[in-house]
Amino acid sequence: MPLIIAPCLALAACGSETTPAPTPTPSETVAGPRTLVAAGFADTKLGPRIVGPEGDEVAGELVREGQKIADIVSYVACPAPKKDEVAAEECVPADQPEGAVYTYVHRVTPVDLADELDTPLLFRTTKAAHGFANNIGFDRDQAEAVLGEGYSIRVQEDNGALLWRVEISNGWHSGEELTFFWQSTLPPEGPQKAYAVGTENGRAEGNGPFPAEEAPVDEDAAGADPAD
């Protein structure tokens, strides 16, 4: 009787080397905004203000495509004096001890707008808040008076930038001031185009005091022998 080899078995023998499954390419995961706990401005103790070339406050405008959407007035306060210490008339960052925390305060007021879609829905920094000390908030009494009972402002950190989102309100209308604040371990470098309000029509940006980026640590210098 002739030997019959099934075609499938012959093929199996010829194709004994299987092709490995492709290795999936890892993709970078981008973290979303991180919700923070908002502090109350009334509960935040402030020391004397830093006085710059424009005085102890910096006034600016938040502008979108040449149109002013809101006014912004900002200042930076040093830590409050300790008990039995006499408060200075102004703050000099160079005189502050290591680890001092500076409070950045921003009063934002929408102007009279012809387009309701330009009504601000959030306030934010446009870049990473250098030296952020994990303390952020707003004036709660003021927010309730402006936005109405039952209002909601969500504060978030998104890739280093800080956001205050008005989620529930009666509307943030022209002439209604809201006060926002955050804290940093770094003093301001000077006014920078680092703040904005967001509207349905887009972002309106402007200047305010902002800290300089932290200098990178020189690993060679950090690990060097002091005797060298």
Task: Give the number of other CB atoms < 10 A from CB of residue 48.
Answer: 17
Whole-angstrom CA distances from 199 to 26, 122, 128, 166, 206 are 36, 7, 20, 11, 14
Task: Give the number of other CB atoms < 10 A from CB of residue 87.
Answer: 11
- Class of CATH domain 34-211: mainly beta
Pairing mode, if any, of strands 188-199 and 67-77?
unpaired
d(CA 139, CA 126): 21
Nearest residue to 57 (alpha-carbon basis) of 80, 90, 96, 82: 90
pLDDT tens for the chain, 228 residues long, are 454 444 444 444 444 455 555 554 444 445 689 999 999 999 999 999 999 999 999 999 999 999 999 999 999 999 998 887 787 889 999 999 999 999 999 999 999 987 889 999 999 999 999 999 999 999 999 999 999 999 999 999 999 999 999 999 999 999 999 999 999 999 999 899 999 999 999 999 999 999 998 766 555 545 555 444
